[in-house]
Structure formats: C-alpha cells, structure tokens
Amino acid sequence: MKAIILERYSKNGRMRLGDMPEPELGDNEVLVQVHAAGVNPLDAKIKSGEFKLLLPYRLPLVLGHDVAGVVVRVGGRVKKFKPGDEVYSRPDDFRIGAFAELIAIKEDSLALKPKSLSMEEAASIPLVALTAWQALVETAKLKKGQKIFIQAGSGGVGIIAIQLAKHLGAFVATTSTANVEWVKKLGADIVIDYKKDDFEKSLHGYDVVLNSQDGKILEKSLSVLKPGGELISISGPPTPEFADAVKVPWFVKQVMRLLSAGIRRKAKRLDINYSFLFMKANGGQLHQLAALIDSGAIRPVVDRVFAFEATQEALDYVETGRAKGKVVVKIR
C-alpha cells in the first residue's frame, strides 16, 4: 500500500511517499480504507523525536492520528462493524498510521462516522474532540453554570472545547487575537485578545482552566481559578499519576515527577488540582460525539485540505501555528 513514511526522527527532515506492507489484522480489529486523515501537532512532535521517551516507536513509521474511511474487512471477533461501514477514529498509540491507504484499528477505538459530515470533516474530529471530551466531561466533570477558561480558542482543541462547554451549559472565556469575532460566534462569552490584554488580570473565580500553552501561561492560569478548581493541561508537564497510568519505565516517571514538581507544588498551595491529560482512543466517546455533531451542537472547522502527496507540506503548515481549525489530508 502507499503511505507517507518517516525514516528517522528529525525536526527538519522530510517524510516521503513510498510503499509499506498492508497492516496485519487482529481478531478484534477492523481494516479501514482511509479516505481522509487529520494532521496534528502531535505528529510533528513525534516526527522530531520529542516524544521518544513517552512513545518509543520503531522506525520506519507511518504517522497520522485521525482517520475517516470505509471498512474493508473485520477480524473474527468483531461484532459492531461490517464491510462498507463509514467510520472514524483516533487509533490507539502504537497502532497509528492514518497517512496511508489502509489502517487496522481496534474495534473499541472505532465509531460510525457522523452522517452529517464529509470524510474530510470527519477526519478533523477524533483527536481534538476526544481531548475536549476527556478534559471537560471525564476529568473536570463540567456542570451547567460553571466557568471555564479555554486557551487558544481558534486552535483545533479550542474550537471543539468551546462548543462542548456551551453544550454542557458552562460560561466560557478564551483567548485569540486575529479571530476574536469568529471565536465569539462559536459560543465563547468572553474572548481576550492576548496581544492587548493579560487574561490573568481579567479572569477570576473560574472552576476549570484547559491549558494548551507553555509553562509561563500555565503558571499564570493558577490565578484564574478559585480554590477547589481544576487546572488541566494538554501541553504538559506530565505528572507521576500520568506516568503510573501509562506504565512508563521508572526513570521516565522520575523525569515527569521533576518536570511537574513546581506547578504541582504551587497548585497545591492554592488548593487547586493540577492534572496532565494525554487523550486515549475511545470509540464509545466518539459515538456520543457523533450524536452531538449530527444534532448540530458541535460543528467541525477545517482550515485547509491537502493532497495525499503533500502530507509533509500539511504538517509544515500545522507547525506554523497559523491554522484556524484543523488541517486534513485527502487520501481517497
């Protein structure tokens, strides 16, 4: 099969279009013909070698964490899907590979594609929507009337998180600069232009902060929260609890403990709960999200669609940080 292949870890190196063996299909897996794949900053971080300790992949590797396509074949134990079904997924870690013509995905990590979306729109959803769901619903347990600060409102996660938070009945603040009015139309109650104003001077008494920025912004976010609040970061630093959950080696856990020691200490002093979220594949949650999408509660925003052969250019564009919404590669 044709695939976009990463042969060595490098920030400036180029992936290439080439041939890879068809994926082997396990009894609990579904073989999907890929029609479209989402492109994420996570792909760039793995490509550069930044995640080698957390995700020690063997090379050569096919990247791609978002997929929409059609079921070709199912394993012997698969019950929920059949050939011809239109599906979407964020494949499990170590089973990624959406930048290819075919991918094998665990049954439990797959869901039927939202009927109202094209393949390209569906491919833009899984990673960012699961991140938003696991942060707001699973971790924060966000309730009607609560206040949440979601950073980077025009980014991939921010766009979905704002819409999900409004669906849950929360009051939403966010940051943007060139897209202030556009982000307000997504449902944000307050949009702070981060080039003109400091959010930590304007926002107080919030229940939840979803952090996606650097350590400096993470620390400033503490002042936004009230005692008992939740500071959830999807950009790090990872915690010892996270290390235990993903069963990393002992020395990696110690590195994570050291990296997060400062923010954990400051959060504890203010009676704030700090947690690091690295989203997990989950077909059941994608099924629930598909219902919200088809009801109109959440809509995807696709910035640009690239050709399969231009996957490297799509990743380069994602790395500029200028995308308004998601970047997608059309494979079929």
| Segments making up each domain of the chain, as ranges | 2-125+300-330, 127-276
Dihedral over Cα of 218, 222, 227, 229: its sign: negative
CA 288, CA 124: separation in Å to the nearest integer?
Answer: 16
Q: What is the pLDDT of residue 177?
A: 81
**What CATH architecture applies to the domain 2-125+300-330?**
Alpha-Beta Complex (3.90)
**Angle subtended by helix axes 41-48 and 311-320, to nearest 10:** 100
Q: Measured between alpha carbons, how far is 299 from 330 in angstroms, rounded to an integer?
A: 19
Could you give the 3-state DSSP secondary structure of residue 302?
Answer: strand
Answer CATH for 127-276 from 3.40.50.720, 3.40.1390.30, 3.40.1190.10, 3.40.50.10490: 3.40.50.720
For residue 53, what pLDDT is reported? 82
CA–CA distances in Å: residue 277 to residues 134, 203, 254:
8, 23, 18
For residue 179, the model assigns a pLDDT of 83
For residue range 222-237, list pLDDT tens digits in order.
999 999 999 999 998 9
Spell out, as residue ranges, where the chain has pLDDT lower than 70: none
Contact (Cβ atoms closer than 8 angstroms) between residue 221 and residue 228: no
- Whether the ω angle into residue 60 lies within 30 degrees of 0, i.e. cis, is yes
Asked if 229 contacts 206 with a C-beta cutoff of 8 angstroms, the reply is yes
For 73, the enclosing helix (H) or strand (E) is: strand 66-74
Asked whether 132 and 164 are in contact (CB, 8 A), the reply is yes
Encode burial over 10-39: b for 16+ CB neighbours within 10 A, e otherwise: eeeeebeeeebeebebeeebbbbbbbbbbb
Q: State pLDDT tens for residues 76-106.
A: 999 999 999 999 999 999 999 999 999 999 9
- AA identity, residue 68: A
pLDDT of residue 46: 96
Do 109 and 68 form a contact (C-beta atoms < 8 A)?
A: no
